[in-house]
Amino acid sequence: MTPDQMRDASLLELFSLEADAQTQVLSAGLLALERNPTQADQLEACMRAAHSLKGAARIVGVDAGVSVSHVMEDCLVSAQESRLYLQPEHIDALLQGTDLLMRIATPGNDVGLRISKPMWP
């Protein structure tokens, strides 16, 4: 394994760990939002988790992770700004997105995973 391959593998492992932590935040927050869709602290926590995942995926060049987390973040920001009232179908879609992000970040799982060139030189 070349040094570049080792670095890429290490970064992907870090991304997997980050995804595990952030999807736990998302899952817990979304379940709380099912009971109270306007709970500001849960909306904020979920939005931040999606935003963190988007950045982490972008750094390692996991385009599918960037795309999914970006859509989730946009939905949560809309809910924060009262442009969207989260209905059960929104929560279900966000939970499905959370599951998809975890599958994308799981090593050896190629759920449409295409790693583009990372953003570092």
Q: What's 42's domain CATH number?
A: 1.20.120.160
Query: What are the tens digits of pLDDT across the range 41-96?
Result: 999 999 999 999 999 999 988 999 999 999 999 999 999 999 999 999 999 999 99
Query: What are the tens digits of pLDDT across the range 89-98?
Result: 999 999 999 9
DSSP code string of 49-69: HHHHHHHHHHHHTBHHHHHHH
Give the model's confidence band at 109: pLDDT under 50 very low, under 70 low, under 90 confident, else very high.
low
Residue 113 lies in a domain: no
Contact between 98 and 23 (Cβ < 8 Å): yes
CA triple 51-57-70, angle to 5 deg: 40
Per the structure, how many domains does the chain have? 1
Residue 120 lies in a domain: no
**The pTM is what?**
0.83
* CA pair distance 63, 61, nearest whole angstrom: 6
**CA torsion angle 105 14 54 5 (round to 10):** -80
Residue 25 lies in a domain: yes
Residue 112 lies in a domain: no
Residue 21 lies in a domain: yes
In this prediction, residue 118 carries a pLDDT of 42
Residue 121 lies in a domain: no
* CA pair distance 5, 17, nearest whole angstrom: 18
Domain coverage including residue 62: 9-105
Query: What are the tens digits of pLDDT across the range 17-45?
Result: 999 999 999 999 999 999 999 999 999 99
